[in-house]
Amino acid sequence: MPTMTDVARRAGVAVSTVSYALNGTRPISEATRQRIFDAIEELGYKPHALARGLASKRSRLIALLFPNSERGLGYTELEFVTSAASTAKENQYSLVLWVYDVHDLAGLRQLVQQRLVDGVIVMEVHEHDERIDLLRELGFPFSMIGRCADSDGLNFVDTDFAQTIRDAVDYLVGEGHRQIAFLNQSESAHTAGYGPVVRTQAGYEQAMQAHGLDAIARFCRAAPRAGCDALNALLDQHPDLTGLITMNERAVPGVLQAIYDRDWKLPDDFSLVVIVSSGSVAEMMIPPLTTFEVMTVEMGRLSVELLIQQLDGSPQEQSQILLPCRRVVRRSSGAAPRR
């Protein structure tokens, strides 16, 4: 297998000059550069990626920070990851998934200060996020899937949660529903300031108020049993309930179980709408669920591109992007039933 020394000998230059040509760490003449790359092609030399990264002080690695949470890494989150990984590869970067506790600032500091990666993408962003404060303090390149309360000057791509929940309420109201509940994620996530939970809760209450309707909201852990218990409790308290909007994908099987236990059929007796979910998940359910689908592929791609623009020094035309959810009406929702 040819070495850098072989390339240098064939091109008639020093080994250090070959290194400069590969890594761009020092200027060399175009004629010399061309001789080196001709020699590389003739010999079939393949530079060692890690060695090249060390020489250029660039690892060509970016980390996707996904904190441990009660929800874990589900199907929708996995679509973010796979899209981000594909985009990184297209741009000659590799992506690593860094799973850690959201409050493990020491671990994040170590990742950054040891220069194990060139930049990071932060997921599961909170309104007041200590990770963002640390990355700002250290001046380390990062982008976000999500946004915090103070995102001035930061790069992010996020779902427009407030608009999505308003659209979901408007849709059910348009179908004649007047008793519409919202099943959010856990109360602990809301208390911790997890952005999507906070924004959808506020958006739901505002949308219901705009229609002159009572807001009926409940928090729920990310588990099927919790979903079943939560809907049963809602129906016990509000027996006239005809529609449910949820942003709790993992609770949906339990919600469906509670509906079936009452011998109800979707959408004849009740309507269910799932927001910020994956169409792939919706199609797995019986019946297929009406969803406001998050643009996972676009968000994963854009988060990487925003970060790489920083790393490569490219001009950033737009660094703060809010994406809508796409409504797909399937067989879980329809006109309000007459009871």
Report pLDDT for 188. 93
Block residue for tokens 């910020």: 276
Give yes or no: residues 76 and 46 share one domain: no
Q: Are 311 and 246 in contact (CB under 8 A)?
A: no
Count the alpha carbons within 13 Å of 210 in the hemisphere toward its beta carbon: 12
Give yes or no: residues 284 and 170 share one domain: yes
- Give a yes or no: residue 254 inside a domain: yes
Distance spanning both ends of the chain, measured CA to CA: 78
Give yes or no: residues 230 and 123 share one domain: no
- Give a yes or no: residue 336 inside a domain: no
Give yes or no: residues 114 and 22 share one domain: no
**CA pair distance 6, 14, nearest whole angstrom:** 10
Final residue of a structural domain among 55, 72, 91: 55
Give yes or no: residues 187 and 266 share one domain: yes
Q: To the nearest 10°, the Cα dihedral for 102, 105, 111, 115?
A: 130
Report pLDDT for 5. 85
pLDDT by residue (tens digit) across 78-100? Answer: 888 999 999 999 999 999 998 87
Give yes or no: residues 302 and 284 share one domain: no
> Looking at the DSSP assignment, which residues form a beta bridge with residue 142?
120
Give the structural domain span for 29. Answer: 4-55
Give the residue from 182, 176, 194 showing the smallest Cα distance to 70.
194
* CATH code of the domain in which 39 resides: 1.10.260.40
Report pLDDT for 72. 66
pLDDT by residue (tens digit) across 164-189? Answer: 999 999 999 999 999 999 999 999 99
Give yes or no: residues 216 and 170 share one domain: yes
Rounded (5°) CA angle 20-26-32: 60
Q: Are 283 and 332 in contact (CB under 8 A)?
A: no
Give yes or no: residues 126 and 171 share one domain: no
- Give a yes or no: residue 257 inside a domain: yes
Find how far residue 335's CA is from the centre of its chain: 33
- Give a yes or no: residue 65 inside a domain: yes
Q: Are 201 and 190 in contact (CB under 8 A)?
A: yes
Rounded (5°) CA angle 245-251-256: 75
Per-10-residue mean pLDDT, the chain, length 339: 84 83 71 85 70 59 83 77 93 89 84 86 93 93 94 92 97 98 96 94 98 97 96 97 96 97 96 93 92 94 93 72 95 91
3-state secondary structure the chain: CCCHHHHHHHHCCCHHHHHHHHHCCCCCCHHHHHHHHHHHHHHCCCCCHHHHHHHHCCCCEEEEEEECCCCCCCHHHHHHHHHHHHHHHHCCCEEEEEEECCCCHHHHHHHHHCCCCCEEEECCCECCCHHHHHHHHHCCCEEEECCCCCCCCCCEEEECHHHHHHHHHHHHHHCCCCCEEEECCCHHHHHCCEHHHHHHHHHHHHHHHHCCCCCEEECCCCCHHHHHHHHHHHHHHCCCCCEEEECCHHHHHHHHHHHHHCCCCCCCCCEEEEEEECHHHHHHCCCCCEEEECCHHHHHHHHHHHHHHHHHCCCCCCCEEEECCEEECCCCCCCCCCC
> Looking at the DSSP assignment, which residues form a beta bridge with residue 157?
145, 321
Phi/psi of residue 73, each to 5°?
-100, 100
Report pLDDT for 50. 47
Rounded (5°) CA angle 161-164-169: 125
- Give a yes or no: residue 338 inside a domain: no
Give yes or no: residues 209 and 278 share one domain: yes
- Give a yes or no: residue 219 inside a domain: yes
**CA pair distance 41, 174, nearest whole angstrom:** 65
* CATH code of the domain in which 204 resides: 3.40.50.2300
The reply to whether omega before 287 is within 30° of 0 (cis) is yes
Total domains in the chain come to 3
